[in-house]
Amino acid sequence: MLNQVLKLFTVSNLCLLVFDYLLTFEDEVSTVWTCPWSIGLPLFYLNRYLPLIDETLLLYFGTGAHRASKCSALFNTSLWLVVIGANAAHTIIYLQTCALWQSNRVVKIFLLLLLVATLVMSVVCAALQQVTYTFLEPWDHPGPPTKTAAGCRLIVGKGYTEYTYMMVGISQGFTIGLMLYKGVQHVRQSRSPWVIELYQNGVLYCLIILALSLMNAIVPNVPSWATTYANILGPFQHTMESILCSRVMFVILKRRKSPDRPETHSEDLEGSLGVFTSVMDSYHTEASSSAIELEARKPPPNPTSLRWP
């Protein structure tokens, strides 16, 4: 039976997701709902809504007296929803970082390899993990025969998910370094609030996910912590991925739709913005790519001539 701490953390994660959803619903309506349909929209919705579903399943997982077959179905469904939602968030951050580096193919290929490695690792580990878990019937426990256990009773076999968290941690570590390196250049060119907010949200996402990934990789291997905390940090990481990644997208899309956006910008950063938002707006993909190629042939912009709001 799931312990009381895990149940409380599951409720907390769900409340946090719902609270953030209510806070940012207006941003979603004004920035995402008005975008033409493209590959970026499914990524956003998978990252935004799947955590709400899988946290609800986890909450139901820990209540009532469920048969072992039902517990297995609930667990496997929640597990694969986490895999899909997490990889959608990783893809969005990958696209953002590639956009910031524009035409640097080495960086793009390197990040793509990390993204593919993380995807493959998460799928393989999830497939291995679901066959190592065993669920007991509600009456299979010590005590009076008439008493049933509340929630699903899970017997954990060998853990594989920590390998996924290790890969995510490695990926986020490199992403932080690449973001900070490019961010210093952009912030020096402009002190615009949206530029600072863009990098703050991007770096904050990577730092938090890096810290949680390291904890999720370490805790299951510490006997005194594994029993209580191993199943708590994973869902919390998935929750934070959804919340922080959505906020990164809102910052960029708000800028795209800003009515007071100046006509003259820092070519480097505005070109990067066009590359990223072209994923959300299929009408601008071709134009954005052409603009980047032209800007790459120009000398670096003079910071003293930049005009920002």
Could you tell me if 246 and 48 are in contact, meaning their C-beta atoms sit under 8 angstroms apart?
yes
With tokens 């941690």, the residue in question is 169
Across 53-67, 240-254, 276-290, the highest mean pLDDT is recorded for: 240-254
pLDDT value for 227: 62
pLDDT value for 226: 65
pLDDT value for 149: 47
pLDDT value for 262: 47
Tokens of 161: 């998910």
Cα–Cα distance measured from residue 28 to residue 295, given in angstroms and rounded to the nearest whole number: 31
Q: How far is CA 159 from the centre of its chain?
A: 22
CA-based torsion, 215, 120, 200, 35: positive or negative:
negative
Query: 3 pLDDT band (50/70/90 cuts)?
Result: low
Query: 293 pLDDT band (50/70/90 cuts)?
Result: very low
Q: What is the mean pLDDT of residues 194-219?
A: 86
* Residues 88-116 as b or e (16 or more Cβ within 10 Å = b): bbbbbbbbbbbbbbbeeeebbeebeebbe
pLDDT value for 296: 37
**Which residues lie closer than 8 Å to 25 by C-beta, 6 or more apart?**
none
pLDDT value for 203: 87
Q: Which domains does the chain have, with CATH numbers?
A: 4-20+39-296 (1.20.1070)
CB-neighbour burial class of residue 61 (10 A; exposed 0-12, middle 13-18, buried 19+): buried
Q: What is the mean pLDDT of residues 245-274?
A: 63
Least confident of 42-51, 92-101, 112-121, 184-193: 184-193
CB-neighbour burial class of residue 307 (10 A; exposed 0-12, middle 13-18, buried 19+): exposed
Query: 82 pLDDT band (50/70/90 cuts)?
Result: very high
Q: Give whole-number Cα distances, 174 to 93, 143, 193, 251, in Å.
A: 12, 52, 25, 22
Q: What is the mean pLDDT of residues 277-283?
A: 43
Q: Has residue 297 got a pLDDT over 80?
A: no
- 3-state class (DSSP) for residue 156: coil
With tokens 């615009």, the residue in question is 192
First to last CA, the chain: 56
Could you tell me if 185 and 102 are in contact, meaning their C-beta atoms sit under 8 angstroms apart?
no
**Which residues lie closer than 8 Å to 107 by C-beta, 6 or more apart?**
97, 98, 101, 178
What average pLDDT does the structure give for the chain?
A: 76
pLDDT digits (tens, 9 = 90+) for 85-143: 999 999 999 988 888 887 788 999 999 999 999 999 999 999 988 888 777 776 665 44
Could you tell me if 177 and 232 are in contact, meaning their C-beta atoms sit under 8 angstroms apart?
no
Least confident of 36-50, 77-91, 272-286: 272-286
Q: At what angle do helices 267-280 and 68-100 cross, to 10 degrees?
A: 150
